[in-house]
């Protein structure tokens, strides 16, 4: 029977996750909320482009909205065996796919599916197996199916070595074992879309599939009728499996959950504070303890970083966090005015990580307290810098030895208010401590409003006009400055709480 739904490998994989995604994309696309960052998509594009050269010279099938042109071009190149064809395109009964890399040998072919991930996920097996299905149904003799993915242990030298950048794993046996499943899935997808027209929306409950393997763009649409706040608004590390367990038990609203003794006391505390409008909880002794750790001069610092799949800087690994910016507020002694320093890399500086580190060492010459917000982040970047540049190792470890983490009292709920909504993020803490202060409102910033946007903004600088670059750079500077000024304001609040006894 001719399939009446046009499927591509990406659409097939979406249906493996949840069939309703296909229906929503067709009939309610306006409700999709973009979840994938531009940098993630760009990483995928760059990885795909570089991987094409894995086996030497290749012939590429250019994308064309008329898929038949791609299919015809593929057929031409298939006759010129042996060769390597990238984006080789095929259609079997309205099931379309483009193979990232196709090895076209004399009697057999090999499929290589390229991923920008550092490990193989189950959905990749579905993707590659679907391609095996289409090609084998067309009568092609598929000898091997492999997944090509990023080797995150690779350290770049002067030149990029793509043979070392990628891992290749043979999954032929898995692909063969999934063929009956794929045929059944395709039949089921067609039946589903036939049964559910535009005016007959399928009823599909939410579940773990909504974020596994990918965050669904229709989450807000599918949860639009849930009470607010609800179990999915509980913050502080509650696992999604547990949230859905409560959801399926019918314990959805905070009222439903407020007496649930299965819940961690931290989650019950968030619910209690928000339902009953409780006053702030402040452990003065815990605040005093963290303030007792501080020694002048005080350095309040925050880094911004970005990640790329393909390392461009010598000595870096795929997806390493690369620091390109810091903001630093300094209080040299008791009663001193606040000073500010900052660093923002030039987009074409190939040695920006070293320049970042040298600038920071210069700006923090003395052994005062370096105040950060999340000890898991900045110290790890400093250790990576020390590994890249051994001559800076002593200084980077000096900085690490002086760090004090202001996240801790909020993370441990030694200081908690209902306005934090269970989160210890500085974006939740700052407005809770200083409500209705426009100077401290991240929403009022001109370009960048969070760390993810900062990474995107810096990566977007290349190719922009000078005027556009200046606007983006200004946005980056004022955003990062607010992050460290936020820590100064937290310090001021701590001083107020302990009555100014310390510092």
* CATH number of the domain to which 13 belongs: 3.90.320
Residue partners of 469: CB distance under 8 A and separation at least 6 = 347, 461
CB atoms within 10 A of CB 200: 9
SS3 track for 75-126: HHHHCCCCEEEEEEEEEECCEEEEEEEEEECCCCEEEEEECCCCCCCHHHHH
pLDDT in the model for residue 500: 54
The total domain count for the chain is 3
Domain assignment present for 174:
yes
Contact (Cβ atoms closer than 8 angstroms) between residue 150 and residue 169 = no
| 270 and 384 belong to one structural domain | no
Residue 203 lies in a domain: no
Query: Is the residue at 220 inside a domain?
Result: no
419 within 8 A of 431, measured Cβ to Cβ? yes
Q: Which of 139, 162, 193 is the last residue of a domain?
A: 193
Would 477 be classed as within a structural domain? Answer: yes
Do 357 and 266 lie in one domain? The reply is: no
Model pLDDT for residues 423-455, shown as the tens digit of each residue: 999 999 999 999 989 889 898 998 999 999 999
Domain shared by 256 and 312, yes or no: no
**Average pLDDT of every residue of the chain:** 95
Domain final residue, candidates 244, 278, 312: 278
From CA 167, how far away is CA 162, in angstroms rounded? 10
Q: What secondary structure does DSSP assign to 257-307, as a single string?
A: HTT-TTS-HHHHHHHHHHHHTPPPEE-HHHHHHHHHT--SSEEEEEEEEE-
Same domain, 392 and 357: yes
pLDDT in tens, 87-139: 999 999 999 999 999 999 999 999 999 999 999 999 999 999 999 999 999 99
* Pair 267, 319 in one domain: no
**Residue 211 forms part of a structural domain:** no
Provide the CA 291 distance to its chain's centre, in angstroms. Answer: 34
Domain of 447: which CATH number?
A: 3.30.420.10
**Neighbouring-strand partners of residue 405:** 372
pLDDT of residue 272: 97
CB 132 within 8 A of CB 140: no
Q: How far is CA 463 from CA 50, 90, 275, 444, 460, in A?
A: 20, 35, 50, 27, 8
Q: Residue holding tokens 């064809």?
A: 85
* Nearest residue to 20 (alpha-carbon basis) of 196, 154, 264, 180: 196
Torsion of CA 68, 73, 79, 84, to 10 degrees: -120
147 and 241 co-located in one domain: no
H or E segment to which residue 477 belongs: helix 466-497
- Which stretch of DSSP H or E encloses residue 388? helix 378-388
Q: Is residue 501 pLDDT above 80, yes or no?
A: no
pTM of the model: 0.92
Could you tell me if residue 225 is inside a domain? no
Q: Is the same domain home to 359 and 480?
A: yes
Q: pLDDT value at position 409? A: 97
Residues 403 and 490 in one domain: yes
Angle between helices 393-401 and 352-363 (to 10 degrees): 50
Q: Are strands 369-372 and 298-306 parallel, antiparallel or unpaired?
A: parallel
pLDDT digits (tens, 9 = 90+) for 303-320: 999 999 999 999 999 999
- Pair (34, 167) in one structural domain: yes
Tell me: do 437 and 360 sit in the same domain: yes
**Which structural domain range is residue 67 located in?**
9-193
Last residue of a domain, one of 240, 255, 278: 278
Give me the pLDDT at residue 142, please.
Answer: 98
State pLDDT tens for residues 36-89.
777 788 889 999 999 999 999 999 999 999 999 999 999 999 999 999 999 999
Over residues 488-503, mean pLDDT: 83
Give burial (CB, 10 Å; 0-12/13-18/19+) of 6: exposed
């Amino acid at each position: 029977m001719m399939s009446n739904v046009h499927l591509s490998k990406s659409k097939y994989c979406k249906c493996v996750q949840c069939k309703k995604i296909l229906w929503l994309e067709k009939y309610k696309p306006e409700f999709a909320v973009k979840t994938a960052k531009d940098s993630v998509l760009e990483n995928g594009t760059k990885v795909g482009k570089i991987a094409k050269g894995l086996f030497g010279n290749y012939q590429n099938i250019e994308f064309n909205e008329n898929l038949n042109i791609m299919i015809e071009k593929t057929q031409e190149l298939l006759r010129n065996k042996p060769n390597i064809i990238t984006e080789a395109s095929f259609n079997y009964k309205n099931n379309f796919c483009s193979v990232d890399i196709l090895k076209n040998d004399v009697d057999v072919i090999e499929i290589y599916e390229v991923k920008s991930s550092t490990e193989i996920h189950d959905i990749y097996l579905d993707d590659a197996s679907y391609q095996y299905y289409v090609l084998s149904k067309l009568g092609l003799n598929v000898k091997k199916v492999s997944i090509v993915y990023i080797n995150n242990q690779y350290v770049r030298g002067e030149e990029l070595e793509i043979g070392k950048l990628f891992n290749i794993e043979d999954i032929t046996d898995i692909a063969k074992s999934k063929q009956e499943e794929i045929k059944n899935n395709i039949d089921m997808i067609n039946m589903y879309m036939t049964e559910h027209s535009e005016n007959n929306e399928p009823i599909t409950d939410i579940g773990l599939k909504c974020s596994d393997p990918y965050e669904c763009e229709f989450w807000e649409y599918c949860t639009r009728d849930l009470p607010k706040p609800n179990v999915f608004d509980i913050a502080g590390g509650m696992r999604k499996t547990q949230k859905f367990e409560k959801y399926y038990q019918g314990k959805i609203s905070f009222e439903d959950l407020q007496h649930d003794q299965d819940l961690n006391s931290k989650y019950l505390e968030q619910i209690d504070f928000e339902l009953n409008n409780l006053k702030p909880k402040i452990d003065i002794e815990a605040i005093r303890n963290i303030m007792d750790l501080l020694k002048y001069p005080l350095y309040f610092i925050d880094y911004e970083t970005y990640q790329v799949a393909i390392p461009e800087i010598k000595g870096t690994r795929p997806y390493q966090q690369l620091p390109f910016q810091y903001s630093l507020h300094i209080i040299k002694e008791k009663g001193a005015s606040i000073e500010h320093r900052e660093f923002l890399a030039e987009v074409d500086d190939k040695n920006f990580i070293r320049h970042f580190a040298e600038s920071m060492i210069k700006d923090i010459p003395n052994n005062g307290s370096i105040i950060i917000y999340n000890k898991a982040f900045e110290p790890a970047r400093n250790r990576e810098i020390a590994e890249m540049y051994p001559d800076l190792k002593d200084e980077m470890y000096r900085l690490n030895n002086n760090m004090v983490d202001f996240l801790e009292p909020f993370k441990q709920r030694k200081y908690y208010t209902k306005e934090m909504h269970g989160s210890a993020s500085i974006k939740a803490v700052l407005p809770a401590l200083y409500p209705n202060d426009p100077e401290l409102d991240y929403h009022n910033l001109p370009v960048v409003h969070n760390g993810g946007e900062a990474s995107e903004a810096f990566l977007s600088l290349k190719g922009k006009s000078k005027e556009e670059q200046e606007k983006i750079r200004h946005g980056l500077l004022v955003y990062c400055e607010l992050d460290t000024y936020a820590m100064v304001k937290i310090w001021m609040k701590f001083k107020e709480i302990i009555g100014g006894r310390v510092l």
